[in-house]
A and B are shown apart, each in its own frame.
Chain A
Amino acid sequence: MEAYFDNAATTAVNPKVKELMFKLMDLDFGNPSSLHMKGVDAEKYIKEATKRIAKELKCSEKEIVFTSGGTESNNLAIIGSALARRRYGKHIITTAIEHASVSATTEFLSKEGFEITYIGTDNKGYIDLEALKNALREDTIIVSTMYVNNEIGTIQPVEEIGKIIKAFNKDIYYHIDAVQAFGKMKISPNNCKADLISISGHKIHGPKGSGALYIRDKLLIRPIIYGGGQQHLMRSGTENVPGIAGMGLAAELIYKDNEKKMDYVKSLKDSFIERVSKIENVYNNSGDAPHIASVSFVGIRSEVMLHALEERKIYVSAGSACSSNKPHVSNVLKAMKLDKEKLESTLRFSFSDTNTMEQVDYAIDVINELVPKLRRYVRK
């Protein structure tokens, strides 16, 4: 049996999405900027995708800009706002548990003269709201937090965060990195008072290289990519029509019966956690997101466990997939102040509605077999 439990890293493309994209490469391959029919046809697909995404975010169509993915959306949101707002202040607030596409971007800005405050978390991985209140200043221009943490699946209190920020000063931009939340729960910019929301296509059974940024109407931000002025000047470059259309369809499909789907995904996750936690010295660090389980197998280095599972065709991540090619200790787990032995032994299992309970059963059997074997061999 094969069990792909790395759906927070990326997902398999939905066959219907694949079909639509193939058509766009095969027949309707036009450039949306072209004046002839081929261009007009291609543009229709982008309008359709915009409509689909806007519907799920309950926003207007002109508030959507398509990008190359979550990373670019985060870069555009943060750098674009910082450039547009630097006259009003140079203070940016973010958290210690952000994805690299946010933390590396703020690091870049700190070298460009901006001042960054990093808010910590409690030992369960939730952002410290008191610390946030204390960090807000007259010259704060942006607050950026994630919605669902990619490593442990905590759902951050974005509505409260939004309230806190706007109560202090309604001109501060609130950016939410919702890459792991989109497609898993209802997201509404109004409820959380967000000005900017990043989402990605390949985490919801859409294609890689597709993403979008919600930009509140009339919000002032500067583009970071210049050229032909596509997408209302906000993101130049010929639109990735198959990617955009694929992402739009993927969003529509995943939000169909979404609650039922996520109940199912959560049942897989809960069942997995319940059974895996029965093993001695195995600890659950997971938050409430339906699809992410974070588990520490104390006494087994996470990479060793990962490769042992891989030999049995069970695919998971050690910490965050994007950072596994440079061994480093996860920021998130560090912010939670996990002890060293848990830090080194944490794996992420992330589920999707394409997984089955049989796969979970299989994984539990394999884990029960592997753990005692691997625990025998430790460095002495």
Chain B
Amino acid sequence: MDYKVFLIKYAEIGTKGKNRYVFEEVMCKRMRSRLRPLGRFEVRREYGRIFVEAFSDYDYDEVINVLQTVFGVVGICPVKVIEDTTFDNFAEEVVDYVDNEYTDKNFTFKVHARRNDKTYPKNSMEINCDIGAAIIEKFPDMKVDVHKPEVVINIEVRNVAYVYSKIIPGPGGLPVGTNGKGMVLLSGGIDSPVAAYMIAKRGVEIEAVYFHAPPYTSERAKQKVCDLARLVSQYAGPIKLHIVNFTDVQLAIYDNCPHDELTIIMKRVMYKMAQDLALQNDCQCIITGESIGQVSSQTSQSLCVIDRACDKVPVFRPCIGLDKQEIIDISQKIDTYETSILPYEDCCTTFVAKHPVTRPKLENIEKSEKALEGKIEELYETAMNTIEVVYCK
């Protein structure tokens, strides 16, 4: 069946009181920009609902896929529009709709009508009863169950009538841009794009930072991070990616600090840089893909020490309690997995000790970092001043 209209269902936004319109408008804007390349669409709010209407030919699956990337959308209902609302014609069209939409006509259902047009000759209850009767008459195996129906046939009568009964699930969450902005540390692995997705889902706009260490990491590894940012941007909207050349800082750490602490100290410097970038770019948080115990730098003790590098913004770690497989499941759902596992050389392993500390103590790490004083400041400045910015969308 060709649908011209989709009803968009959203849940949490409805509870936002007077700010509700702000949330709705942000979501509509996002839908408009995502739908623009697919044809001529109108996204409109009316009577407290959001409708998408197509004014040109479009590919149904493509449109559903795109709507499923807009946070805030809980469900997408393909709607049949009935122009002639004279009751007899109207009932016939609803029966047609059921006929086309369901192959086995042996389920329980109820009709749920709303009447915006109060001059319509039948009231909601009468529409429910009469349409229900018309359906049963045509398909005798179907049964009405007003308490626990398998299918609810929704009808809205206005100047035209809308019929819908199927709800295609959306991603849920809150529209991106309604909850400030965060700076995600993208590594090129599986976890960080998932972390970015999860925070974006709560309405947070995303910027990203990648630490590039040529010649220890390759141009392809950098390209891969850009590709990942682009994939996340399908959900999170355009992402400004900051690429920091980290090599000299890394070498300075290698030259001056104990090797079993290299990763911890390196991560603390990365966090500091991310925090500086967050503040410069109006972000209120840093986002990482860490999960407790996954590797030596993600033990509870390591995280505690690394976390203390940031004193001005919180670090959000949405994957913290997830198992690797759970993270992989999400990355497959959002389509970043295949890119994440591309095996480009990551020679940063040069800088990973064979036996790194797993229970670091803050005072020891801070003592080791003293050796960097006077040596790292200039390199830190240079790295921050030579950032390459890539806009990913």
Q: What residues of chain A have their CB less than 8 Å away from a CB belonging to chain B?
A: 301, 303-308, 310-311, 325-327, 374, 376-380
B87 within 8 Å of A by Cβ?
Answer: no
11 A–B contacts, CB within 8 A, in A order: A303-B218, A303-B347, A304-B216, A307-B345, A310-B219, A311-B215, A325-B220, A325-B343, A377-B254, A378-B350, A379-B352
- Determine if A304 and B344 form an interchain contact, defined as CB atoms under 8 angstroms apart: no
Nearest to A324 among chain B residues (CB) is B345
User: CB-defined interface of B251-270 with A at 8 Å, one 1/0 digit per residue?
Assistant: 10011000100000000000
A304, A327, A374, A378 interface centre (most CB from chain B within 10 Å): A304
- Determine if A327 and B343 form an interchain contact, defined as CB atoms under 8 angstroms apart: yes
Chain B positions 329-361 with a Cβ under 8 Å from a chain A Cβ: 342-345, 347, 349-354
In whole angstroms, what is the CA distance A149 to B73 when docked? 58
B189 within 8 Å of A by Cβ?
Answer: no
Give the chain B neighbours of A306 by CB distance below 8 A. 215
Report which of A301, A310, A311 forms a contact with B347, defined as CB distance below 8 A: A301
- Determine if A380 and B347 form an interchain contact, defined as CB atoms under 8 angstroms apart: no
In whole angstroms, what is the CA distance A379 to B218 when docked? 18
Report which of A307, A310, A326, A379 forms a contact with B349, defined as CB distance below 8 A: A379
Give the chain B neighbours of A376 by CB distance below 8 A. 255
Give the chain B neighbours of A377 by CB distance below 8 A. 251, 254, 350-351
Other contacts beyond A307-B214, A325-B220: 16, CB < 8 A? A301-B347, A303-B215, A303-B345, A303-B347, A304-B350, A306-B215, A307-B216, A325-B343, A326-B343, A327-B345, A374-B215, A376-B255, A379-B349, A379-B353, A379-B354, A380-B259
Give the chain A neighbours of B347 by CB distance below 8 A. 301, 303-304, 307
In whole angstroms, what is the CA distance A52 to B171 when docked? 62
In whole angstroms, what is the CA distance A376 to B350 when docked? 11
Give the chain B neighbours of A380 by CB distance below 8 A. 259, 353-354
Q: What residues of chain B have their CB less than 8 Å away from a CB belonging to chain A?
A: 214-220, 251, 254-255, 259, 342-345, 347, 349-354
In whole angstroms, what is the CA distance A244 to B218 when docked? 35
Report which of A311, A325, A379 forms a contact with B214, defined as CB distance below 8 A: A311
| A219 CB to nearest chain B CB (Å) | 41
In whole angstroms, what is the CA distance A376 to B255 when docked? 9
In whole angstroms, what is the CA distance A378 to B255 when docked? 11
In whole angstroms, what is the CA distance A154 to B231 when docked? 45
In whole angstroms, what is the CA distance A346 to B349 when docked? 18
- Determine if B343 and A379 form an interchain contact, defined as CB atoms under 8 angstroms apart: no
| A65 CB to nearest chain B CB (Å) | 35
In whole angstroms, what is the CA distance A379 to B220 when docked? 22
Give the chain A neighbours of B344 by CB distance below 8 A. 325
Give the chain A neighbours of B351 by CB distance below 8 A. 377, 379
| B353 CB to nearest chain A CB (Å) | 6
- 5 nearest A-B residue pairs (beta carbon): A307-B215, A308-B215, A303-B345, A380-B259, A304-B347
| B219 CB to nearest chain A CB (Å) | 7
Give the chain A neighbours of B255 by CB distance below 8 A. 376
| B346 CB to nearest chain A CB (Å) | 9
Report which of A301, A311, A325 forms a contact with B350, defined as CB distance below 8 A: A301
In whole angstroms, what is the CA distance A326 to B344 when docked? 7
Nearest to A326 among chain B residues (CB) is B343
Give the chain A neighbours of B342 by CB distance below 8 A. 325
Nearest to A328 among chain B residues (CB) is B343
Give the chain B neighbours of A378 by CB distance below 8 A. 350
In whole angstroms, what is the CA distance A376 to B343 when docked? 26
Question: How many contacts A-B (CB < 8 Å)?
Answer: 49
| A140 CB to nearest chain B CB (Å) | 37
Nearest to B220 among chain A residues (CB) is A325
In whole angstroms, what is the CA distance A378 to B251 when docked? 11
In whole angstroms, what is the CA distance A122 to B192 when docked? 47
B218, B220, B259, B349 interface centre (most CB from chain A within 10 Å): B218
Give the chain A neighbours of B259 by CB distance below 8 A. 380
In whole angstroms, what is the CA distance A380 to B349 when docked? 10
Give the chain B neighbours of A305 by CB distance below 8 A. 215
| A243 CB to nearest chain B CB (Å) | 27
| B314 CB to nearest chain A CB (Å) | 34
Give the chain B neighbours of A310 by CB distance below 8 A. 215, 219
- Determine if A304 and B354 form an interchain contact, defined as CB atoms under 8 angstroms apart: no
In whole angstroms, what is the CA distance A292 to B259 when docked? 38
In whole angstroms, what is the CA distance A307 to B350 when docked? 14
- Determine if B343 and A304 form an interchain contact, defined as CB atoms under 8 angstroms apart: no
In whole angstroms, what is the CA distance A378 to B345 when docked? 16
A307, A376, A378 interface centre (most CB from chain B within 10 Å): A307
In whole angstroms, what is the CA distance A376 to B347 when docked? 14
| B155 CB to nearest chain A CB (Å) | 56
Nearest to B251 among chain A residues (CB) is A377
Give the chain B neighbours of A308 by CB distance below 8 A. 214-215
Give the chain A neighbours of B345 by CB distance below 8 A. 303, 307, 327
In whole angstroms, what is the CA distance A119 to B218 when docked? 35
| B59 CB to nearest chain A CB (Å) | 32
- Determine if A304 and B215 form an interchain contact, defined as CB atoms under 8 angstroms apart: yes
| B295 CB to nearest chain A CB (Å) | 16
Give the chain B neighbours of A311 by CB distance below 8 A. 214-215
In whole angstroms, what is the CA distance A376 to B247 when docked? 14
Give the chain B neighbours of A374 by CB distance below 8 A. 215
Give the chain B neighbours of A301 by CB distance below 8 A. 347, 350
Nearest to B215 among chain A residues (CB) is A307
Nearest to B217 among chain A residues (CB) is A307
| B28 CB to nearest chain A CB (Å) | 43
| B188 CB to nearest chain A CB (Å) | 14
In whole angstroms, what is the CA distance A377 to B220 when docked? 22
Give the chain A neighbours of B352 by CB distance below 8 A. 379
In whole angstroms, what is the CA distance A378 to B343 when docked? 21
| B350 CB to nearest chain A CB (Å) | 5
Give the chain A neighbours of B251 by CB distance below 8 A. 377
In whole angstroms, what is the CA distance A306 to B347 when docked? 11
Nearest to B355 among chain A residues (CB) is A380
In whole angstroms, what is the CA distance A378 to B353 when docked? 10
Known contacts A325-B343, A327-B343, A327-B345; A379 and B350 CB within 8 A of each other: yes
In whole angstroms, what is the CA distance A108 to B216 when docked? 36
| B341 CB to nearest chain A CB (Å) | 11
In whole angstroms, what is the CA distance A378 to B342 when docked? 24
| B277 CB to nearest chain A CB (Å) | 25
In whole angstroms, what is the CA distance A304 to B251 when docked? 14
Nearest to A302 among chain B residues (CB) is B345
Nearest to B221 among chain A residues (CB) is A307
Give the chain B neighbours of A325 by CB distance below 8 A. 220, 342-344
In whole angstroms, what is the CA distance A76 to B22 when docked? 64
